[in-house]
Amino acid sequence: MRPAKPWPGGPDAVWAASAGTSAQHRPPAPDVSGFDDFARRVAPREAALLSALLFVFLGVGLLVYAIVVASLMPELPEGLDGFDAVVLNLMKWHWVVSLVVGAWSLLVTAPRTYLKDKRDHPGETRALYEASLDRGVVCEVFATRFKVPGSDGWDRTVIGIDARLDGERAARIRRAFTDWFAAVQSDVRTDKEVSKRHGGRDVLPAEDVFGPEAAGGYLIRQSVVGTGWMMLIRDDPVARREWTRLRIEEAKAA
């Protein structure tokens, strides 16, 4: 098997230079190993109402459009036939389609979506919880100024460090990423090459860049979370994607 092509920006030299980095203090990781804690602090909130409201707004909008158009549409001139008659009739009565689709969205799709999401959410939460126990990684995250390609242009990133790593290894990975960012961003061509190779992926493991000694570090595409804690789960069983990223909320005071 051919070795992976090295990343631009000299990550091998950067990793070698990071040797001997002083250990950093690591706060205790949040304990979300219990299902109740996971459901309360990690799992995505139930979105049944929001999903249903989207179809409600769509349905109301289409119904309003149909009523307004129907009330303003002028009568067709008499004596029309052939192609002109077909086109003008379609123009005159097209609001009926909006009326039917709007009524269906409001009366059928919205309640059906609400009930389905309400029914499926507990099972999805349970599947994520079991996946977190099997292959989840609790990470301490640190904000960066490094950006990667996103769906709407560029997204910010955070560095994720596995909570199980000791302070010395955690500090070295964080320094390596920071120094590598500086090397990449100092040259426009290198920056473009890294962006192209990154491809907007959600999570880039540090060992893919610096080698196996850097295992436990992650470059995470995340435009919301600054610092704190995050749960990474490879092979998300709910969304069926390679990684899922879940913020770990602060524990509420008793």
Q: Across the 254 residues of the chain, what is the mean pLDDT of every consecutive 10-residue run?
A: 74 94 91 91 76 84 82 62 57 76 85 77 87 92 90 86 95 96 94 91 93 95 75 73 84 63
Q: What is the pLDDT of residue 85?
A: 54
Report helix, strand or coil for 151: coil
Domain regions of the chain by residue span: 11-32+131-247, 48-123
Q: How many CB atoms lie within 10 A of CB 247?
A: 16
Sequential DSSP letters for 232-252? EEES-TTT-SSEEEEE-PPPP
Residues 6+ apart with CB under 8 A from 104: 59
Residues 6+ apart with CB under 8 A from 190: 8, 9, 183, 184
Q: What is the pLDDT of residue 79?
A: 56
Residues 6+ apart with CB under 8 A from 171: 21, 22, 23, 24
Residues 6+ apart with CB under 8 A from 147: 154, 155, 156, 157
Q: Which structure tokens are listed for 105?
A: 């969205």
- The one-letter amino acid at 44: P
Q: Which structure tokens are listed for 61?
A: 């909008």
In residues, how long is the chain? 254
Q: What is the pLDDT of residue 51?
A: 75
Residue pair 224/16 in contact by the 8 Å Cβ criterion:
no
Q: What is the pLDDT of residue 97?
A: 82
pLDDT tens profile 133-146: 999 999 999 999 99
Residues 6+ apart with CB under 8 A from 86: none
Starting at the edge strand that comes first in sequence, how are the strands of the sheet with 228-234 ordered? 203-205, 217-221, 153-162, 136-150, 228-234, 243-247
Q: What backbone phi and psi angles, to 5 degrees, belong to 161?
A: -120, 120
Q: Which residue bears the tokens 């080698």?
A: 211
